[in-house]
Structure 1
Amino acid sequence: MPNLKTTLDKVYRDRSAEHLANDPLSFCHRFQAPEDQEVAGLIASCFAYGNVKIIKRNLQDIFSEMGSSPRHYVERFDPAKGKRTFSGFKHRFNDGRDLCGLLLAAQIMVREAGTIQGWLLRFHDEAQEDVTETLSGFSASMKELDLGAVFGRGGVPADSYFPFFFPSPASGSACKRLCMYLRWMVRPADGIDLGIWTGIAPSRLVIPVDAHIQRICTFLGLTTRKQADWRMAREITTRLRELDPEDPVKYDFPICHLGISEGCDGKNRATCRNCAITGLCAQGKK
């Protein structure tokens, strides 16, 4: 039987530009400056849910408006003008008002902490096993911001899905999009991830669990849990840490794209014939 580490290391090496082009992370690669990449990453990751074609289409609309520098755009962001500009925007649960709330939140973080990383590091402790407390603190802080310029004096209204951008491990959420954002920023630059944040060690990251990661990691025996929650994310990460203690989440992008780009849906056995993990996968051995 193939060795799990050998197999996953090969899947990692076989990542391609085509995979990246089919991923929201590709929008960050449009910019060279780290201060632009971290702002682009926050926006791209927040809207990275649902159908990938729709995600890319809606992100294209956002970044076309933001121009050559997302950092400069949020620094100069005018909520009143933004609400007019994005009045027709819609991405599943979130609308233009939520997007403007996100842009204002980015503006506040940049203004008060210099960078989004600087803001997030207020809640990070490298002595902790992973980023559980980091994300809990970060998400709580987002919900305490004064976003009245977008939402009005009463704060974020009950019918807004702005809080959906910032789930928390404290509530048990897998926090897929926030974990993905951290992966993009923190992991060493390897042609996929950017490696522009240095305040968090890659060993502290937790894998972003979406439907693809949940399904394929279950097939690989990396989790025994049924619910895609924070406990599953930590369980999978613990198993991957046995393969690479310093960089366990390196396997997220290649595993995920077995589903996104390579067509693994857990049902069509035809895709198993040429799949890189067939020899280890419970589905492929049926």
Structure 2
Amino acid sequence: MGFKIELLNKTDLKDFLDSKVEQYNNPKFIESDPIQIPHQFSLKEDIETSGFLTATIAWGNRKSIINNAKRLMELLDNSPYDFIMNHDEGDLEKLQPFVHRTFNGDDTIQFIKSLKHIYVAHNGLESVFAKHAENISLQTSISKFKTTFFEIEHLNRTQKHVSDPLKNSAAKRINMFLRWMIRNDKTGVDFGIWKSLSPAQLSCPLDVHSGNVARKLGLLKRKQNDGKALMELDIALRNFDQNDPVKYDFALFGLGVFEGF
């Protein structure tokens, strides 16, 4: 790097991170990221349902995530919203063989049923997340979403696939999904189709890459990537940009994954 990151003052660190946001927050990012799946669709409900299902399985090898998300969209006839709303029991049987790590066919079928319930009884995904949103955080909203998602009859095993920040989870995958839906900075990566929520309310998707980089930059002291660490990182990133703190996800992720920082 040619300079000591830990010696950078706040202004220089912000400039450094802003330059990394500009480097990675562009359409080229889509080619190697799971966000490419919802980018296949144009209908709002297709974007958000495909995005939610893709984010749900977004852990492990990125190539495997993308391949399995493509496979899942094929099983949903490449019309996820229509499948969710109009499937019958027979249609669900073909989902049984689907598996991504510990997310299996039973979980997939449960997710389809719960998503239908969200649209029929609660006016859709955006409405559920917006209902309990707080001014500078959506973590309570995510917890309430989980309760709503599983208020129909469900398999207990499937609950582990929706995180609960109020139980100290960093909820990385749902925070990533919310970034996709809510941010829109005209670069063409995030969609910005949820107008009832603001980028200022978002939290950074905290995983091993962004966490390690944040610690090296002095933005995060807590060693575990959990809900408390997320709150700490939230405060640090809001100091740089309170209106769009999670744009720095591109910098932290890019530095970690593409530069091995």
Residue 148 (structure 2) pairs with residue 141 (structure 1): yes
Q: Could you say which residue in structure 2 is the equivalent of 1:203?
A: 200
Q: 1:176 aligns with which of 172, 175, 187?
A: 172
Per the TM alignment, residue 263 of structure 1 is displaced from its structure 2 partner at its CA by: 4.5
2:175 and 2:205 in contact (8 A); partners too: yes
Matching residue's letter, 1:133: T
Q: Could you say which residue in structure 1 is the equivalent of 2:16?
A: 7
Cα offsets for 1:173-221 (capped at 9, x unmatched): 1100111111111112531111000122111111111110111111111
2:134 and 2:201 in contact (8 A); partners too: no
**Corresponding residue SS for 1:215:** helix
Alpha-carbon distance in 1 for matches of 2:152, 2:129: 14
Residue 162 (structure 2) pairs with residue 166 (structure 1): yes
Matching residue's letter, 1:181: F
Higher helix share goes to which structure? 2
Structure 2 length-normalised TM: 0.90
Residue 239 (structure 2) pairs with residue 229 (structure 1): no
Alpha-carbon distance in 2 for matches of 1:18, 1:81: 36
Q: 2:74 aligns with which of 54, 64, 83?
A: 64
Instruction: Quote the sequence identity (%).
Output: 28
Matching residue's letter, 1:51: N
1:58 and 1:91 in contact (8 A); partners too: yes
Superposed, 1:127-138 pairs within 5 Å as 129-138=136-145
Change (3 A) 1:136 1:12: same
Change (3 A) 1:94 1:244: same
Cα offsets for 1:20-66 (capped at 9, x unmatched): 21111110111112121111111011010111111111111111222
Matching residue's letter, 1:116: L
2:212 and 2:256 in contact (8 A); partners too: no
1:79 and 1:104 in contact (8 A); partners too: no
Per the TM alignment, residue 253 of structure 1 is displaced from its structure 2 partner at its CA by: 2.6
Residue 95 (structure 2) pairs with residue 86 (structure 1): yes
Between 11-20 and 184-193, the greater mean CA deviation after superposition: 11-20
Between 208-217 and 249-258, the greater mean CA deviation after superposition: 249-258
Per the TM alignment, residue 68 of structure 1 is displaced from its structure 2 partner at its CA by: 4.1
**Corresponding residue SS for 1:94:** coil
Between 64-73 and 175-184, the greater mean CA deviation after superposition: 64-73
Q: Could you say which residue in structure 2 is the equivalent of 1:23?
A: 33
Per the TM alignment, residue 135 of structure 1 is displaced from its structure 2 partner at its CA by: 1.2
Tell me the matched-pair count: 250
Matching residue's letter, 1:41: G
Where does the alignment leave 5 or more consecutive residues of structure 2 unmatched? 1-6
Q: 1:97 aligns with which of 106, 122, 140?
A: 106
Residue 48 (structure 2) pairs with residue 48 (structure 1): no
Per the TM alignment, residue 77 of structure 1 is displaced from its structure 2 partner at its CA by: 2.3
Matching residue's letter, 2:181: M
1:40 and 1:70 in contact (8 A); partners too: yes
Per the TM alignment, residue 247 of structure 1 is displaced from its structure 2 partner at its CA by: 0.3
Alpha-carbon distance in 2 for matches of 1:165, 1:80: 24
1:174 and 1:232 in contact (8 A); partners too: yes
Structure 1 length-normalised TM: 0.82
Where does the alignment leave 5 or more consecutive residues of structure 1 unmatched? 147-154, 267-286
2:29 and 2:189 in contact (8 A); partners too: no
Alpha-carbon distance in 1 for matches of 2:81, 2:95: 18
Per the TM alignment, residue 140 of structure 1 is displaced from its structure 2 partner at its CA by: 2.0
Residue 118 (structure 2) pairs with residue 109 (structure 1): yes
Change (3 A) 1:133 1:55: same
2:207 and 2:225 in contact (8 A); partners too: yes
